[in-house]
Chain A
Amino acid sequence: MERFIFLTFDGLSRGAVYAAFALALVLIWRAARVVNFAQGAMAVVTAYAAYMVSDAVGSYLVGFLVALVGGLLLGALVERGLMRFVGHANPLNDVIVALGLVLLLTAVVGIIFGGEFRAANQPFDTSAIEVGGVPLMSRYDLFIWGTVATIVVLLALLFTRTAVGLRMRAAAFAPEVSRLLGVNVGRMLTLGWALAAVVGAVAGVLILPTELGLHPHAMDIVFASSFAAAIVGGLDSPVGAVVGGIIVGLILSYVSGYLGAALTPVAVLAVLLAVLLLRPGGIFSGVRARTV
């Protein structure tokens, strides 16, 4: 029982990060109808930048800010400099270009930092806080939840309460009409990518200390898990992404706790297939064929 409680809390922490990362995927999907397969690689780049800076400066906060700003710039750059120019003759083109970016970014990180694991230091005590003798969660888990909750609330406010949010939604749903109403659709698209990259960068910075640390391919499995989370919730639904993230986090925590950590990728694949084959629109929609 104690183990179950521990795994549940661990799953909630992982799930919070997957939720944030899935949210980033959903943001870009809604804005541009593109699944950003380079999201993981982009988060690796910002995470390296963040931990290198925080090691050099000796301040976690500065590193965290570097990840935020780096994500913003990288996201905008990828959209402005790359994705905007991808032809749409073939619907696979976006995916292929994003995968090219994965190869390029991970290789560049490997060239600069090498292929071995590097420690990513946690800003807080990782020993678990015990409640009634049962270890529940660490301060770092609380930090993760707080950060992800802040992101979710800020995004919700941005999209429902501000003029920019309204413009972004309109530009995504009806680009032509939005242009006629004076919305700079291209700029909204850039902003969407930048925001998504920031969220992805934060998720990367949060999760790496709880895993093996920094590695050029450290986000591969995180990407796959978060993709599964986004699929569970439905790629079009931000609320679904959050719920899906928590669900996937819990499943993966139980699987790795009871069956062994090595089976995590198998569990991800099983979740993906189960949802896509049984409920292709995600748990928040009716069953409908998955076409793009």
Chain B
Amino acid sequence: MTAVLEVDNLNAGYGVVPVLQDVNLTVAAGTITAVLGANGAGKTTLLRTITGLVRPTGGRILFSGADLRAVKVEQLVRRGIAHVPEGRGVVAELTVDENLRLGGLWRKDKADAKKATAEVYELFEPLARRRAHLGHQLSGGERQMLALGRALVARPTLLLLDEPSLGLAPKVTAQIMALLKRLRDDTGLTVLLVEQNVRGALSIADRGVVMSLGRIVMSAGADELLADDGLRHAYLGF
């Protein structure tokens, strides 16, 4: 298996406060990697540093062999990286349709962008019924669908997802997890999934990475993590 994303000794922080300390991470193509850990462990900062929203103070981020530190944030989507940020990032003042169009605006292949949008509407039926509604009129689940759908319009190779289950009903969470699994199996999508919902994430993930206080304290297969009682108690709290 080839590595899509390699994070090498990554350090980052806000101002003088270091958040990430010597983070090493390898994500193989066509897999789902779950990043787990308590609040404040640095999970979100890890995703934001990978996409360049937070400047790294040291280390390298390689995507398909190219160093991402030299790539502007707005160029990432053109290279195949989609980032659904914390809080989903649905633009509340734009309609569902406009949000989805925004996801494909950069694409040269307008026909395929249109096709991808149609596929998203097929995938998420509730969205199709609310095309003309504004973002802030949607429910939490619909927003998550919209954010995910908007990322898929770009037909990414790597999807960074920040807490998709936050604030959602268990049933909706399960649907989203099932969808991610299907995307991996059917299209070979690589997913880096930050989650607090450990059980849900590990049920679909190939690997799990546990973060604590800005460091990666454990990296193992998903089954292994689920089986390790001591680790579960220490870091994952169940």
Q: Is B98 an interface residue (CB 8 A)?
A: yes
Q: Is B231 an interface residue (CB 8 A)?
A: no
Stretch from B27-35, B74-82, B115-123, B193-201 forming part of the interface with A: B74-82
Query: Are A180 and B98 neighbours in the complex by a CB distance under 8 Å?
Result: no
Given contacts A166-B102, A167-B105, A173-B93, contact A182 B75 (CB under 8 A): yes
Query: Are A177 and B93 neighbours in the complex by a CB distance under 8 Å?
Result: no
Q: Is B85 an interface residue (CB 8 A)?
A: yes
Given contacts A166-B98, A170-B102, contact A183 B74 (CB under 8 A): yes
**Using a CB-CB cutoff of 8 Å, which residues 88-133 of chain B contact chain A?**
89, 91-94, 98, 101-103, 105-106
**Total number of residue pairs linking A and B with CB closer than 8 Å:** 65
Query: Are A169 and B94 neighbours in the complex by a CB distance under 8 Å?
Result: yes
- What residue of chain A has the Cβ atom nearest to residue B91's Cβ? A174
Query: Are A180 and B85 neighbours in the complex by a CB distance under 8 Å?
Result: yes
Bound-state CA distance A185–B73 (Å) is 10
Query: Are A177 and B91 neighbours in the complex by a CB distance under 8 Å?
Result: yes
Given contacts A163-B105, A176-B85, contact A181 B77 (CB under 8 A): yes
Q: Which of A166, A173, A182, A185 has the most CB of B within 10 A?
A: A182
Chain A interface size, under 10 / 10 to 19 / 20 to 34 / 35 or more: 10 to 19
Query: Are B102 and A180 neighbours in the complex by a CB distance under 8 Å?
Result: no
Chain A residues whose CB sits within 8 angstroms of the CB of B78 once the complex forms: 182
Query: Are B89 and A182 neighbours in the complex by a CB distance under 8 Å?
Result: no
Q: Is B53 an interface residue (CB 8 A)?
A: yes
Bound-state CA distance A15–B76 (Å) is 46
User: CB within 8 A of A177: which of B76, B89, B101, B105?
Assistant: B89
Q: Is A210 an interface residue (CB 8 A)?
A: no
Chain B residues whose CB sits within 8 angstroms of the CB of A180 once the complex forms: 51, 53, 73-74, 76-77, 82-83, 85, 89
Chain B residues whose CB sits within 8 angstroms of the CB of A183 once the complex forms: 74, 102, 105-106
Query: Are B92 and A181 neighbours in the complex by a CB distance under 8 Å?
Result: no
Q: Is A179 an interface residue (CB 8 A)?
A: yes
**Using a CB-CB cutoff of 8 Å, which residues 141-193 of chain A contact chain B?**
163, 166-167, 169-170, 173-174, 176-185
Bound-state CA distance A111–B80 (Å) is 54
Bound-state CA distance A182–B76 (Å) is 7
**Using a CB-CB cutoff of 8 Å, which residues 33-77 of chain A contact chain B?**
none
Chain A residues whose CB sits within 8 angstroms of the CB of B155 once the complex forms: none
Given contacts A166-B101, A173-B92, contact A182 B74 (CB under 8 A): yes
Q: Is B150 an interface residue (CB 8 A)?
A: yes
Query: Are B102 and A178 neighbours in the complex by a CB distance under 8 Å?
Result: yes
Chain A residues whose CB sits within 8 angstroms of the CB of B93 once the complex forms: 169, 173
- What residue of chain B has the Cβ atom nearest to residue A184's Cβ? B74
Bound-state CA distance A196–B93 (Å) is 21
- What residue of chain B has the Cβ atom nearest to residue A177's Cβ? B89
24 A–B contacts, CB within 8 A, in A order: A163-B105, A166-B102, A170-B94, A170-B98, A173-B93, A174-B92, A176-B53, A177-B89, A178-B91, A179-B53, A179-B73, A179-B74, A180-B53, A180-B74, A180-B76, A180-B82, A180-B89, A181-B105, A181-B150, A182-B74, A182-B76, A182-B154, A183-B74, A184-B74
A residues near B (Cβ < 8 Å) are 163, 166-167, 169-170, 173-174, 176-185
B residues near A (Cβ < 8 Å) are 51, 53, 73-78, 82-83, 85, 89, 91-94, 98, 101-103, 105-106, 150, 154
